[in-house]
């Protein structure tokens, strides 16, 4: 499910994510970005607009959770940690591929491996884990 809305208050965003929204974009999103988002969500990716990502991360930061040393990333390779950090910043598989000079398929494979290794349901959960592990910094 991809949400396109004018509402960017924290409660609406968090409610959408809680019920399984794979994407949440604001109506000022360009048509090109909207097209990319539709394709990304159709391919099973999660996508939040940058403004929404900041709000979700701020909410996570304010929510008590496990200490950073309790998030175990030891099963991840150095490259997987790089990919996880990109996920925490709201990057799509295509953007991760471009940032890290990988093919789109390789980036997608890294994301799948990380999901499996961390026993996470989706990219949003990965972003939360990354933030709690201290990988997300503005």
Which helix (H) or strand (E) segment is 84 a member of?
helix 78-88
Per 3-state DSSP, the chain is made up of helix, strand and coil in percentages (nearest 5) of 60, 5, 35
Tell me the C-alpha distance between 43 and 56, whole Å.
22
Domain ranges of the chain: 2-132
Q: Which tens digits make up the pLDDT trace of 51-102?
A: 777 777 777 666 665 544 477 899 999 999 999 999 988 889 999 999 999 9
**Single pTM value for the model:** 0.57
Q: DSSP assignment, residue 2?
A: E
CATH says 2-132 is which class?
A: mainly alpha
């Amino acid at each position: 499910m991809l949400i396109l809305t004018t509402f960017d208050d924290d409660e609406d965003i968090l409610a959408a994510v809680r019920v399984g929204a794979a994407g949440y974009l604001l109506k000022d999103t360009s048509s090109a970005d909207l097209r990319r988002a539709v394709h990304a969500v159709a391919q099973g990716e999660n996508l939040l607009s940058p403004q929404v990502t900041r709000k979700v991360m701020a909410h996570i930061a304010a929510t008590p959770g496990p200490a950073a040393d309790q998030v175990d990333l030891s099963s991840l390779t150095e490259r997987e940690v790089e990919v996880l950090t990109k996920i925490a910043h709201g990057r799509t598989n295509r953007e991760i591929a471009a940032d890290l000079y990988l093919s789109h398929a390789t980036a997608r494979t890294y994301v799948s491996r990380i999901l499996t290794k961390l026993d996470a349901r989706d990219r949003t959960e990965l972003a939360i884990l990354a933030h709690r592990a201290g990988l997300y910094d503005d």
